[in-house]
């Protein structure tokens, strides 16, 4: 898309760890990175770009946790100052629906939908007896999706936005789970 050199994953991880102190939030960002890379592969897009958007999408969370109106705006501005490409910055900016900005690209739509999906998948793994991603399958996650009181923070409406990318819910859950299973060591699940 753009000839600018991408920030390496190592540089991005260092930046993330400087800004985010909660280990679970860092793991969430790694989960979103994995799912974004998997979706990029599925859609024949640039995996490194999509993975970078996933890894850095919540970089401002420690600063904005108590102010959702500022979340993603502060992070996007910070990433722009660091020279991150505009398409990645925009995807980070629009993943928080509170701003009412349009999700224009397929990367924008993917980041928006996969952010809560990772939480649903982690919560699903954690109720399994061995608490491992590799012990659950897409049907297990889909059954949890249907339970209104399960993982309430994982917005079903936002997850269902996968249809904006032309994916059914079952396809989306399958792709997301497969990507997270491949990253299970980094996620500790």
The residue ranges of every structural domain in the chain are: 9-187
Average per-residue pLDDT for the chain? 95
User: H or E stretch including 105?
Assistant: none
Average pLDDT over residues 137-156: 96
Rounded distance, CA 22 to CA 81, Å?
23
Q: What is the pLDDT of residue 1?
A: 44
pLDDT category at 140 given cuts 50, 70, 90 is: very high
Q: What is the pLDDT of residue 5?
A: 62
Rounded distance, CA 158 to CA 97, Å?
9
Q: What is the pTM of this model?
A: 0.95
User: H or E stretch including 1?
Assistant: none
pLDDT category at 3 given cuts 50, 70, 90 is: very low
Rounded distance, CA 39 to CA 47, Å?
8
Burial grade of 43 (CB within 10 A; 0-12, 13-18, 19 or more): middle
Q: Which CATH class is domain 9-187?
A: mainly alpha
Task: Please say if the pLDDT value at position 91 is more than 70.
Answer: yes
């Amino acid at each position: 898309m753009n000839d600018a050199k991408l920030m390496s994953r190592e540089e991005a991880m260092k930046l993330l760890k400087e800004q985010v102190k909660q280990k679970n939030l860092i793991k969430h960002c790694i989960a979103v990175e994995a799912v974004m890379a998997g979706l990029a592969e599925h859609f024949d897009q640039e995996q490194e770009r999509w993975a970078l958007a996933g890894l850095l999408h919540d970089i401002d969370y420690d600063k904005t946790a108590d102010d959702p109106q500022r979340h993603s705006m502060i992070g996007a501005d910070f990433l722009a100052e660091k020279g991150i490409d505009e398409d990645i910055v925009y995807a980070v900016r629009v993943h928080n629906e509170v701003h009412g900005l349009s999700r224009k690209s397929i990367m924008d739509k993917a980041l928006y939908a996969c952010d809560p999906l990772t939480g649903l998948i982690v919560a699903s793994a954690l109720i399994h007896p061995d608490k491992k991603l590799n012990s659950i399958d897409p049907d297990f996650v889909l059954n949890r999706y249907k339970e209104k009181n399960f993982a309430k923070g994982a917005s079903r409406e936002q997850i269902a936005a996968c249809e904006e990318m032309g994916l059914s819910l079952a396809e989306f859950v399958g792709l997301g789970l497969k990507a997270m299973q491949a990253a299970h060591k980094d996620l500790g699940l």
